[in-house]
Amino acid sequence: MALRWYSTVIDTHDPSRLARWWAEAIDWQVIYEAEDEVVLIPGYVTGEDDVRAMDWEKIPPGLVFVKVPEPKTGKNRLHLDLAPHTTQDRDAEIARLESLGATRVDVGQEVGASWTVLADPEGNEFCVLSARDM
């Protein structure tokens, strides 16, 4: 038996604000919200019945945003890689993320890398990879 990747937790000063930013960025939805925690799931999941119909190991992980008092210090030790589909314009997706408040970040990536490093409004790094079809 294998464990299922259940969620990724992101520390934040403002769970509601950052979760809503990510929901807009990746087209996910808020399914739980409290003052100190907000949970997102993929936008294609239509509700609890949809999840209950999935095999346990095929249920997608969520993103959980939890309130913490300390500021982010240094480069992430873990980050998300996002990729557009081959039918999408990668540069347009990067521009869209920047219009939402993402910023380009230099973490030492080589010039001409096939990915672009960005940071969300609280400085959490993530990458936008080249377009993929799988």
Q: What is the pLDDT of residue 119?
A: 97
Q: What is the pLDDT of residue 46?
A: 87
Residue type, 120: D
Q: Are residues 13 and 58 in the same domain?
A: yes
Asked which of 1-5, 70-74, 100-104, 122-126 is least confident by mean pLDDT, the reply is: 1-5
Q: What is the pLDDT of residue 3?
A: 87
The verdict on residue 73 lying in a domain is: no
The verdict on residue 13 lying in a domain is: yes
The verdict on residue 106 lying in a domain is: yes
pLDDT at 2 over 80: no
The verdict on residue 75 lying in a domain is: no
C-alpha pair distances (Å), 11 with each of 18, 24, 103 = 10, 18, 18
**Domain at 109, CATH number:** 3.30.720
Query: Three-state secondary structure along 2-67?
Result: CCCCCEEEEEECCHHHHHHHHHHHHCEEEEEEECCEEEEEECCCCCHHHHHCCCHHHCCCEEEEEE
Q: Are residues 36 and 11 in the same domain?
A: yes
Domain hosting residue 58, numbered range: 7-67
* Structural domains of the chain, count: 2
The verdict on residue 33 lying in a domain is: yes
Q: Are residues 87 and 54 in the same domain?
A: no
**Domain at 42, CATH number:** 3.30.720.120
pLDDT at 58 over 80: yes
Contact present, 90 and 130 (Cβ < 8 Å): yes
The verdict on residue 118 lying in a domain is: yes
Last residue of a domain, one of 67, 100, 116: 67
Greater pLDDT, 95 or 76? 95
Q: Are residues 94 and 117 in the same domain?
A: yes
Q: What distance in Å separates the CA atoms of residue 116 and residue 113, rounded to the nearest whole number?
A: 7
Map residue 99 onto helix, strand or coil: helix
